[in-house]
């Protein structure tokens, strides 16, 4: 695997917050168009790794490449290639969902016409057309989550990071969202996911990377991870991390 041909390439990345070592020299490569889940208990370092890869965190040692671009020296180009759905719904609540999405289009340099077309497309995909003109503050938690997802894919990024995308969603909303994530991935997009819903990771991802205490402790297909003797993927991960995943 090398930097040019990988969607993501991480070489010895370490991050320290004050006295906490969040990442301990992680090295890993992700292939293009292969859905990947990063699993691990709370505080394992999953979100920190995503922050490094999305250029949000610059204070780290080692090297990281996204879409063949160094996240330090080509941060803007990296950001043009990626979409991030964060854990929190960081939306502008006083304005409408439509205007939140238009802003995303503008920030990615879309023309007004292109942005409006892209907004119409993602509103269709997330079934938010009916509420699009309402202030986001009036949305339910599920609607807000879908709007964050819509915003994440609006500019058609080549690589999408989904940080616990279905947290807080009811079952039907989760299914609907997964349906579209699968559709989006099928369009030759690389989806990198963190989640606490193991069954979602197993169903959707061909490869699972387990992180704990800032290190990669397992890496393989769901079947390979279960081959250690566990009946379910959840059991396998529990055995690996030796503590309950909440």
Partner 1 sequence: MKVLRALRGIIRHEILLQLKTKLFAMSLINSVVVVLLWGYLAGLQAQPMHHLRVAVVEGALEAEILLASEHLVAVPFASVQLAVAAVRAGEVMAAVYRPMQATSLRVTVDDTQGAAARAVLASISSALVRGMRSDGQPDVQAPLIPLLDVEEAWGLGMDDPGYLLRLLGAAIVAMVVLSNAFVFSGFTLIAEKTSGTIHFLALAPISRIWMIVGKLIANTALIATSAVIAVTMAILLFGVSPNGSLTVLFLATLLTGLGLMGLCYAISAYVRDERTFRIVAGLPLMMPMMFLSGIMYPVAVFPDWLQVVSRAMPLNWLMRIAHEVFFKGGGLTDVWPLILLLAAFAATMVAWGTVAVSRLMRVG
Min separation Cβ 185 and partner 1, Å: 20
User: What are φ and ψ of residue 129, in 5° steps?
Assistant: -55, -45
Distance from C-alpha of 19 to C-alpha of 245, rounded to nearest angstrom = 24
**How far apart are the C-alpha atoms of 241 and 245, rounded to whole Å?**
8
Based on the shown chain and the rule CB under 8 A, indicate whether residue 181 belongs to the binding site for partner 1: no
In the region spanning residues 120 to 179, those forming contacts with partner 1, defined by CB under 8 A, are 151
Per DSSP, helices labelled H in the chain are: 46-53, 75-81, 97-107, 112-126, 141-153, 171-186, 198-204, 222-226, 233-241
How many residues does this entry show for the chain?
Answer: 246
Considering the complex, state which of residue 49 and residue 205 has its C-beta at the smaller distance from partner 1. 49
For residue 36, give the nearest of 196, 193, 219, 158 by alpha carbon.
193
Collapsing DSSP to helix, strand or coil, 197 comes out as coil
- Tell me which of 84, 162, 209, 237 binds partner 1, using CB under 8 A: 84
Piece of 86-94, 126-134, 168-176, 220-228 that binds partner 1 (CB under 8 A): 86-94
In the shown chain, the binding pattern of residues 87 to 116 toward partner 1, with x for contact by CB under 8 A and - for none, equals -x-xxxx-------------xxx-------
Tell the smallest beta-carbon distance from residue 91 to partner 1 (Å). 7
**Residue 137 beta carbon to partner 1: minimum distance, rounded to whole angstroms:** 11
Cα(70)–Cα(61) distance, rounded to whole angstroms? Answer: 13
CB distance 55 to 62 below 8 Å? no
- Structure-token pair, residue 60: 């780290």
Place of tokens 């997330």: 126
Q: Measured from the CB of residue 56, what is the shortest distance to partner 1 in angstroms?
A: 4
Kindly tell me which of 67 and 128 has the beta carbon lying closer to partner 1. 67
Which CB atom, from 193 or from 233, has the smaller least distance to partner 1? Answer: 193
Task: Please report, as residue ranges, which positions from 7 to 36 form the binding site for partner 1 (by CB under 8 A).
Answer: 15, 17
Among 51, 126, 173, 190, binds partner 1 (CB under 8 A): 51
In the complex, which residues of this chain contact partner 1 (CB under 8 A)?
15, 17, 48, 51, 54-59, 76-77, 79-80, 82, 84, 86, 88, 90-93, 107-109, 151
């Amino acid at each position: 695997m090398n930097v040019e041909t990988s969607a993501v390439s991480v070489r010895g990345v370490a991050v320290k917050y004050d006295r906490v070592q969040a990442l301990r020299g992680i090295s890993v490569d992700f292939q293009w168009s292969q859905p990947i889940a990063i699993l691990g208990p709370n505080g394992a370092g999953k979100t920190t790794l995503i922050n490094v890869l999305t250029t949000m965190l610059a204070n780290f040692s080692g090297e990281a490449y996204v879409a063949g671009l160094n996240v330090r020296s080509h941060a803007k180009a990296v950001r043009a290639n990626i979409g991030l759905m964060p854990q929190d719904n960081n939306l502008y609540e006083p304005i409408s969902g439509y205007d939140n999405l238009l802003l995303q289009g503008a920030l990615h340099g879309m023309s007004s016409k292109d942005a409006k077309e892209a907004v119409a497309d993602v509103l269709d995909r997330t079934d938010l057309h009916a509420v699009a003109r309402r202030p986001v503050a009036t949305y339910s938690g599920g609607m807000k989550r879908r709007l964050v997802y819509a915003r994440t894919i609006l500019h058609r990024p080549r690589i999408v990071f989904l940080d616990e995308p279905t947290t807080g969603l009811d079952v039907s909303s989760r299914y609907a969202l997964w349906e579209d994530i699968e559709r989006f991935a099928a369009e030759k997009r690389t989806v990198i996911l963190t989640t606490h819903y193991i069954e979602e990771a197993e169903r959707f991802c061909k490869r699972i990377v387990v992180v704990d205490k800032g290190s990669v402790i397992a890496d393989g297909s769901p079947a390979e991870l279960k081959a250690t003797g566990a009946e379910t993927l959840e059991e396998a991960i529990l055995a690996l991390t030796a503590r309950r995943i909440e």
